[in-house]
Chain A
Amino acid sequence: MVYAKRFDGRKFDELRKIEAEVGIIPNADGSARFKIGKTEAIVGVYGPKEMHPKFLQNPRKGTLRCKYDMISFSVNDRARPGPSRRSQELGLVIASALEPVCLLNDFPKLIVDVFIEIPQADAGTRCAAICAASMALADAGIPMKDLVAAVAVGKIGDKICLDINKEEEDYDGPGGATDIPIAYSPVENKLTLLQLDGKIKGEDLTKAVEMGIKGAKKIYEIQKIALKKKYKVDEILGKKI
């Protein structure tokens, strides 16, 4: 059987339903929630603050540190809580996807801490995490050249699909499944993250990246609207303005 129609009935270049929100954690300097389909990421940003342990301080520029964590009830089989090999790697991957846009030269010896929690996972958690983290960083007032939008593209069977879900990720029909997470900065017009898990031809990869960039641009607009919504005020003391 060839993969002709997507499991959830979407078009091949259609994103899942997106919800984005900023300023959800009052105690954090910046925070955001990003939900795409069933995948959800909650991010809190703290800092810039003094970095400890001291020997890790960089006297030339600030440090960006991301901690990625899946809550134990986020997947069907209970995820073992605490840091794992996978979550440590993802923390570093997400930090390196965000660092190219963050202007940390004004914060020598300081650190910006980004805490990412995944309450519900349905593939593409690192992409949801990057989207939420870049919104939370902007909310925290960290100078940034641009926001970063991320989306996972996949080659399922012989079809290239945008924003794949868990069902598609686990597809084991002819052709198999290939997962390509992409993070993109529209102003810089640069990819800040490109990973590949599976097999794909060179020409198909170009097509997949192009499709991913198109999807990321749509997400980027949603991120911007969510950030601006926080500062939209209709009334002061019951009086409309």
Chain B
Amino acid sequence: MNKLIVASREVAVPGDLIAEGMNFVAGKNTYRKDEKIYSNRLGLVDVRGSVIKVIPLSGRYMPQKEDLIIGEVKEVGFNSWQVDIGAPFTANLYMSEGTTTYIRKDEDLSRYFNVGDKLIGRIISCTSTGSLQITCKGPGLKKIKGGLIIKINPNKVPRAIGKKGSMITMIKELTNTEIIVGQNGWVWINGDAMDILKAKKAIELIDKKGHVKGLTDAIKNMLEKDSRIKPVK
């Protein structure tokens, strides 16, 4: 008696019966009660072989180790910066992780990052008790200059990136912009003003309708149609 009740790629709500029988394995965001597997979050059901999981559609960003993030400096301390990354706790960027240059004794740290500066960083460690360490040293990690930052639902980030970066590469090529998508849902777009707006439109569409099949083609059509219209100089 092994039966799948909610099909793959369909929306499940908490308490929805997804499958019956012991041949299925309850994966992430699901739980087993006797012979039945229930969802415990609002999301899309994903069945891979016998493993059933639910990909959430909503919820705040929960930091994880090694995540690439975009943040904003909120506070400059004596030996660290406090960075808002959209997580429940503010992240700590320690002095030695902020920059590769040598920082002299008693130097003012606002020379490197001041309040309001945006940066691309990576999470070094995070604990459930609220300690959150990030770094800004490494390939691709830097202070952000220029461009536009938009915030999307962090659960739509995998969709915005696509399989092996297919979606984001396509948007980058068709709009001629530079785009970095942080796992926390903050997206940095850099390039020409008109191009930025075009890329912004595409990313906002992913945020709104990211759970729909065939989105890549729709966005491709939209961007190709748009590129025919030349901006007025």
* Chain A residues with a Cβ under 8 A of chain B: 29-30, 47-50, 59, 101, 103, 106-110, 138-147, 185-187, 223-224, 227-228, 231-233, 236-237, 239, 241
Contact A228 B11 (CB under 8 A): yes
Contact A233 B14 (CB under 8 A): no
Contact B130 A236 (CB under 8 A): no
- 7 A-B pairs closest in CB distance: A141-B59, A146-B15, A144-B14, A141-B58, A236-B218, A227-B13, A187-B15
List residues of B (1-23) whose CB comes within 8 Å of A's CBs: 11, 13-17
Contact of B231 with A by CB under 8 A: no
CA distance A224 to B38 in the complex (A): 14
Looking at chain B's contact residues, is the secondary structure mostly helix, strand, loop, or mixed?
A: loop
Q: Which of B42, B56, B60, B155 contacts A227 (CB 8 A)?
A: B42
Contact of B232 with A by CB under 8 A: no
1/0 per residue B32-51: CB within 8 Å of A? 01000010111000000000
Which of B42, B60, B88, B213 lies at the interface centre, i.e. has the most chain A CB atoms within 10 A of its CB?
Answer: B42
Contact A59 B88 (CB under 8 A): no
Query: Given that A48-B88, A49-B88, A110-B88 are contacting pairs, would A231 and B59 also be in contact in the complex, using a CB cutoff of 8 Å?
Result: no
- Would you list 5 pairs from A and B whose C-beta atoms are within 8 A, ordered by A residue? A110-B88, A144-B14, A147-B15, A233-B209, A233-B211
Contact B130 A138 (CB under 8 A): no
Q: Which residue of A lies closest to B221 (CB)?
A: A237
Contact A140 B41 (CB under 8 A): no
Chain B residues with CB under 8 A of A106 = 62, 128
Q: Which residue of B lies closest to A232 (CB)?
A: B11
Q: Which residue of A lies closest to B222 (CB)?
A: A237
CA distance A143 to B128 in the complex (A): 16
Q: Which residue of B lies closest to A227 (CB)?
A: B13
Instruction: A48-B88, A227-B13, A236-B212 given; name 20 further pairs at CB < 8 Å.
Output: A29-B58, A47-B60, A101-B15, A103-B40, A106-B62, A107-B88, A141-B41, A141-B57, A141-B58, A142-B59, A144-B15, A145-B14, A147-B14, A227-B11, A228-B11, A228-B13, A236-B218, A237-B218, A237-B221, A239-B218
List residues of B (93-146) whose CB comes within 8 Å of A's CBs: 128-130
Looking at chain A's contact residues, is the secondary structure mostly helix, strand, loop, or mixed?
A: loop
How far, in Å, is A112 (CB) from chain B's closest CB? 10
Contact B29 A50 (CB under 8 A): no
Chain B contact residue count (CB 8 A cutoff): 35
List residues of B (25-80) whose CB comes within 8 Å of A's CBs: 29, 31, 33, 38, 40-42, 56-60, 62
Q: Which residue of A lies closest to B12 (CB)?
A: A228
Contact B56 A141 (CB under 8 A): yes
List residues of B (137-195) whose CB comes within 8 Å of A's CBs: 155
1/0 per residue B201-216: CB within 8 Å of A? 0000100010111110
How far, in Å, is B52 (CB) from chain A's closest CB? 16
How far, in Å, is A30 (CB) from chain B's closest CB? 7
Chain A residues with CB under 8 A of B155 = 141
Chain A residues with CB under 8 A of B88 = 47-50, 107, 110
How far, in Å, is B87 (CB) from chain A's closest CB? 9
CA distance A227 to B10 in the complex (A): 13
Query: Given that A50-B130, A139-B58, A237-B222 are contacting pairs, would A224 and B13 also be in contact in the complex, using a CB cutoff of 8 Å?
Result: yes
Query: Given that A48-B88, A139-B42 are contacting pairs, would A241 and B14 also be in contact in the complex, using a CB cutoff of 8 Å?
Result: no
Chain B residues with CB under 8 A of A236 = 205, 209, 212, 214-215, 218
CA distance A237 to B215 in the complex (A): 10
CA distance A101 to B13 in the complex (A): 13
CA distance A47 to B61 in the complex (A): 10
